[in-house]
Structure 1
Amino acid sequence: MQLTPTIAVHLSLALSAVAIGPWVLWARMGATLRPQLHRALGYAWVTCMLGVALTGLFIRDFRLPNLWGYTPIHLLIPLSLYSLFRAFRFLAQGNITGHRKTMQQLYFWACIVTGSLTLLPGRFLGQLIWGRWLG
């Protein structure tokens, strides 16, 4: 798979989301609350996640097991979009616990698990790291 502009944007947004996520979660944890930092970084993280999900719709791979070019990892796109909607709905309802749990789960599944899956040898990032840099 070649580095297309869509993949470059997707990869940049995904890496940004992975990097920003812990800061967003940290800004509201513990005894000291940092609401301005949490809100600013949270909006940046949500923007990155929306961009990742939307650009992911345009990345198709016909070499891996797929359905019309969509691989099993693409199933996380609607899950991510629904989780973002759900987290903001919880926030609008004043359910901070629901918001927090939804965002923590979204970070884990969308950034950590999916990020790990992109390191498989057949994926672009996996080929780049294992084949070109470390190979």
Structure 2
Amino acid sequence: MQLTPLIAVHMTAAIAAVAIGPIALWARRGHASRQPHSQRPRLHRAAGYAWVALMLVTALSAIFISDPAVPNIAGFSAIHLLIPVVLFSLFLAFRQLLRGNVNGHRKTMVSLYVSACLIAGAFTLMPGRFLGHMLWSHWLGLV
């Protein structure tokens, strides 16, 4: 597999989502009633919308990425199962907000960040994966 424009878009959006996610999660910590003039809720909303947009780009671009070296069905491998999980989780998180379920929204977003960004991101750094191969072989020269 080589670095195509599609993979570059996917990878850039994913890395940016990993970086922006903690800002969105941190910015909402605390109580707005104790911080009436705080910018943190605005920061939370701005970083949250940016993170959601990046996750949508990451998930939707993944639809068109396939590696024939990985076992797949019609070009879709097991990692592609994250696409509907991400899309459904984002839908669920916004639905929870619309219904006033802030706690459910928070839990959904935290679990989505952990599963789709941290855990899936860690798997992409394995030596046999494209990004892992670039990291360990080309950039660090370890493998």
Scaled by the length of structure 2, the TM-score of the pair is: 0.91
In structure 2, what is the Cα distance between the partners aligned to 1:70 and 1:108? Answer: 23
Q: Based on CA coordinates, which of the two structures has the bigger radius of gyration?
A: 2
Give ranges in structure 1 of 5+ residues lacking alignment.
Answer: none
Find the residue that maps to 1:40 and give its secondary structure: helix
Matched residue type, 2:67: D
Find the residue that maps to 1:49 and give its secondary structure: helix
Q: Which residue of structure 1 lines up, in the alignment, with residue 26 of structure 2? A: 26
Find the residue that maps to 2:76 and give its secondary structure: coil
With 31-40 and 104-113 compared, the bigger mean Cα shift is at 31-40
In structure 2, what is the Cα distance between the partners aligned to 1:3 and 1:20? Answer: 23
Find the residue that maps to 1:59 and give its secondary structure: coil
Give the root-mean-square deviation of aligned CA atoms. 1.1
Matched residue type, 2:15: L
Which digits, 9 at most, give the CA deviation of each residue in 1:18-55, with x for residues without a partner?
A: 00000000001134562111001100000000000000
8 Å contact from structure 1 (residues 61, 69) kept in 2: yes
Q: Quick check: 1:87 aligned with 2:93?
A: yes
Find the residue that maps to 2:117 and give its secondary structure: helix
Q: Which residue of structure 2 lines up, in the alignment, with residue 54 of structure 1? A: 60
Q: Quick check: 1:128 aligned with 2:141?
A: no
Which digits, 9 at most, give the CA deviation of each residue in 1:67-120, with x for residues without a partner?
A: 222221111110000000000000000100000000000000000011011111
Q: Quick check: 1:101 aligned with 2:107?
A: yes
How many residue pairs are counted as aligned between the two chains?
135
Give ranges in structure 2 of 5+ residues lacking alignment.
Answer: none
Percent identity of equivalent pairs? 60
In structure 2, what is the Cα distance between the partners aligned to 1:62 and 1:75? Answer: 17
In structure 2, what is the Cα distance between the partners aligned to 1:50 and 1:92? Answer: 19
In structure 1, what is the Cα distance between the partners aligned to 2:65 and 2:7? Answer: 7
Provide runs of 4+ in structure 1 moved above 4 Å: none
Q: Quick check: 1:113 aligned with 2:119?
A: yes
8 Å contact from structure 1 (residues 118, 125) kept in 2: yes
8 Å contact from structure 1 (residues 20, 45) kept in 2: yes
In structure 1, what is the Cα distance between the partners aligned to 2:6 and 2:122? Answer: 20
